[in-house]
Structure 1
Amino acid sequence: MLKIENLKVSYGGIKALKGIHMEVEENKIVALIGANGAGKSTTLRSIVGLVKPEVGIITYHGEDLAKVQTKDLVRRGITLVPEGRRVFPNLTVLENLKIGAFYRNDDENIKDDLEWVYTLFPRLKERTWQLAGTLSGGEQQMLAVGRALMSRPKLLMMDEPSLGLAPLIVKEIFNIIEEINRQGVTILLIEQNANVSLKIAHKAYVMETGDITLEGTGSELLRNEEVKKAYLGESVSVQK
């Protein structure tokens, strides 16, 4: 579905990406994990066209994304849930969700998708007319995901969805991510929280200082001694 080949990006004299290769298969959850500053966000910014690579190619269903404007990605079925949630604080929950369907004109299907989002996130339905800025951090993350789903994405990219959330809310969010995937949406998950992301990932990559240093299934990387020491702590259980 999405393929990255020999991607190199520099900021001035700093090499942010050093020729990475990775692939996101359709209907899978793929996690890209690594410490802050490893190059995860640069990878994501390259995919959506906010950073121009020096070398390399990014294709989506065989189409070169360098030839697609960022604003047109949603029409291709690619949607991003940004780091920090970025909801519109002075708009209601419903208004935020409707913005996710901005490019659509199939009103009946939009109504159905709104009910789908409310089924995934019952708390949003309870707060339909509440201003988004008054929601808790976890509720804002739910709203950001719901807003992205209103565009009917085929590929949903999520940048640090666990950031700043309490452990119980993180567990709830990741359970919903799994459910979204079961309903046919491919997920690319950019995360520092290796423990939760590897537990749900079909495929995962570890990034360090601009390089992909390890790859494998989520369960394989959970058992990997290097990953356990660097990201999980040696005593972390790998049971789901």
Structure 2
Amino acid sequence: MLKVEDLVVAYGGIEALKGVNIKVEEGKIITIVGANGAGKSTLLRTIVGLEKPKGGKISYEGNDLLKEKTRNLAQKGLTLVPEGRRIFPNLSVLENIKLGAYYRKDKKAIEEDIKWVYSLFPRLEERKWQQAGTLSGGEQQMLAIGRALMSKPKLLMMDEPSLGLAPIVVQDIFNIMKEIHKQGVTILLVEQNANLALKIADYGYVMETGIITMQGTGKELLLNEEIKKAYLGETVSAV
């Protein structure tokens, strides 16, 4: 579905990505884990056209993604939930959700999808007239995901969805991610919480300083002693 080949991205003379290769198969959950500054967010930003690569290829459903304009990607089924949520704080929850369907004309289907978002995130329905900027961090993350779902993505990319959230909220977010996947949405997840991310992943990549250092099934990586030592620590909590 998505293929990144030998991707190089540089900021000035410093290479943030140094020849990255990943594949995302349709219907799978793929995760990229690594420490802060490893280049994970740069990879997602480059996929959606917010950064221009110095070299390499990106293809989506067999087409050259580097030739596409960022604003057209949602119509092609490719959506990013950015790090930091990036909601519109002065608009209501419902207005934010509707913005996710900005290019769609199917009003009846849009209403059905709003109901689906509310079924995933009941708190958003309770607060639909509330200004989005007054929501808690966890509720804002739910809103960012709900808004992304309104574009009817085939591939949903998520950048650090657990960042800065309480453990119980993180658990909710990951459970909902699994529910979204059950509805047929392919997920590419960038996440510092390697334990939770690898537990739900079909396949995973470990990124360090702009390169992929390890890859394998989620289960294989969870059992890898190097990864246990570097990312998982002593305690493991189940999803």
TM-score by length of 2: 0.98
Tell me which amino acid in the other structure corresponds to 1:13. G
Once the two structures are superposed, residues 162-185 of structure 1 have per-residue CA deviations (whole angstroms, 9 ceiling, x without a partner) of 000000000000000000001001
For 1:236 and 1:223, locate their aligned partners in 2 and report how far apart those are by CA, in whole Å.
14
> How many residues get paired?
239
- Any residues of structure 2 matched to 1:85-234 within 5 Å, and which? 85-233=85-233
AA aligned to 2:107 is: D
Asked if 2 retains the 8 angstrom alpha-carbon contact of 1:33 and 1:194, the reply is: yes
Q: Extract unaligned runs of 5+ from structure 1.
A: none
Q: CA deviation at 1:29?
A: 0.7
Aligned match of 2:235: 236
Once the two structures are superposed, what CA deviation does each residue of 1:146-169 show, in whole Å capped at 9, x if it has no partner?
Answer: 000001010111110000000000
Secondary structure at 2:161 match in 1: coil
CA contact (8 A) 2:195 2:236 kept: no
Q: Give runs of aligned pairs for residues 48-67 of structure 1, distance below 5 A.
A: 48-67=48-67
Aligned residue type for 1:19: G
Q: Relative to structure 1, is the Cα distance of residues 120 and 239 closer, same or farther in structure 2, using a 3 angstrom cutoff?
A: closer
Determine the C-alpha separation between the residues in 2 that align with 1:92 and 1:52.
33
Q: What pairs with 1:32-51 in structure 2 (closer than 5 Å)?
A: 32-51=32-51
- How far does the alpha carbon of each residue in 1:12-36 deviate from its partner, in whole angstroms, 9 at most, with x for none? 2211111111001111111011111
User: In structure 1, how many angstroms separate the alpha carbons of the residues matched to 2:195 and 2:105?
Assistant: 40
Within 1, Cα distance between the matches of 2:84 and 2:20? 26
Superposed CA deviations along residues 49-75 of structure 1, whole A, max 9, x for unmatched, are 111111110000000011100111111
Question: How far did residue 239 of structure 1 move?
Answer: 5.6
CA distance in 1, matches of 2:237, 2:225: 12
Distance (Å, rounded) in 2 between the aligned partners of 1:138 and 1:12: 35
Residue 238 of structure 1, CA deviation = 7.6
Partner of 2:15: 15
Is the 1:222–1:238 Cα contact (8 Å) retained in structure 2? no
Work out the percentage of aligned pairs sharing the same amino acid.
68
Aligned equivalents of 1:239 and 1:50: distance in 2? 35
**Which secondary structure state, in structure 2, belongs to the residue aligned with residue 140 of structure 1?**
helix
**TM score, norm. by length of structure 1:** 0.97
Distance 2:80 2:126 in 1: 25
1-structure distance, mates of 2:231, 2:112: 40
Code of the residue aligned with 1:101 in structure 2: it is A
Q: Residues 213 and 238 (structure 1 numbering): CA distance in 2 closer, same or farther, change over 3 Å? A: farther
Residue 236 (structure 1) shift: 3.3
